[in-house]
Amino acid sequence: MVKTMYNFKEFYDVSCELSQTDDEAHIRSAINREYYSLFGESRKYLVEVKGKTYLTTKRGIHGKVCGTLINSNNPTEKYIGQILLNLIEIRGFADYDWKEKDSNYFKAIQPKVKEDVKKGLESLEYLKNKYT
């Protein structure tokens, strides 16, 4: 039986549903799912298309994926890495912060996060089509 990797773009679809409810918990959760959709698809691209098997580990994986993309000579990969770098901080606030950022911050930033992730996912599709 051949095991296929999960389609992390489905997390983006879930985030769209979550962001329809205008409360802090749903918005924070939407940001989390948006980040993980781009992170998961980026990691999968780097492993399956670019052969970066060292990214199959779990320890420090977020920084490793982001760093691999940012340090790439490919401008599209760098662009995706920059999006992820920005989102790591925002997702951290959404998941762990209870006093530095308030619901107004998350409601204001979520549309930009959504748009950035959408552009990142489109860029990954471009790269996949280019290299496969």
What are 35-60's pLDDT values in tens digits?
A: 999 999 999 999 999 999 999 989 99
Give the chain's domain count: 1
Task: Report if residue 4 sits inside a domain.
Answer: no
pLDDT of residue 106 exceeding 60, the answer is yes
Kindly give the interhelix angle for 103-131 and 9-18, rounded to the nearest 10 degrees: 150
Q: pLDDT band at 29, cuts 50/70/90?
A: very high
Task: Report if residue 43 sits inside a domain.
Answer: yes
Q: Report which of 112, 121, 116 is spatially closest to residue 40, judged by C-alpha positions.
A: 121
> Which amino acid, 49?
V
Task: Report if residue 2 sits inside a domain.
Answer: no
The domain in which residue 79 lies consists of: 9-131
| Contact predicate 31/106, CB 8 Å | yes
* Average of per-residue pLDDT across 56-83: 97
The distance in angstroms from the start CA to the end CA of the chain is 23
* Average of per-residue pLDDT across 5-13: 92
If phi over 0 gives left and psi between -120 and 50 gives alpha, with beta otherwise, what is residue 2? Answer: beta
What pLDDT, on a 0 to 100 scale, did the predictor assign at position 4?
64
Task: Report if residue 89 sits inside a domain.
Answer: yes
For 48-78, letters b (16+ CB in 10 Å) and e give eebeeeebeeeeeebebbbebbeebeeeebe
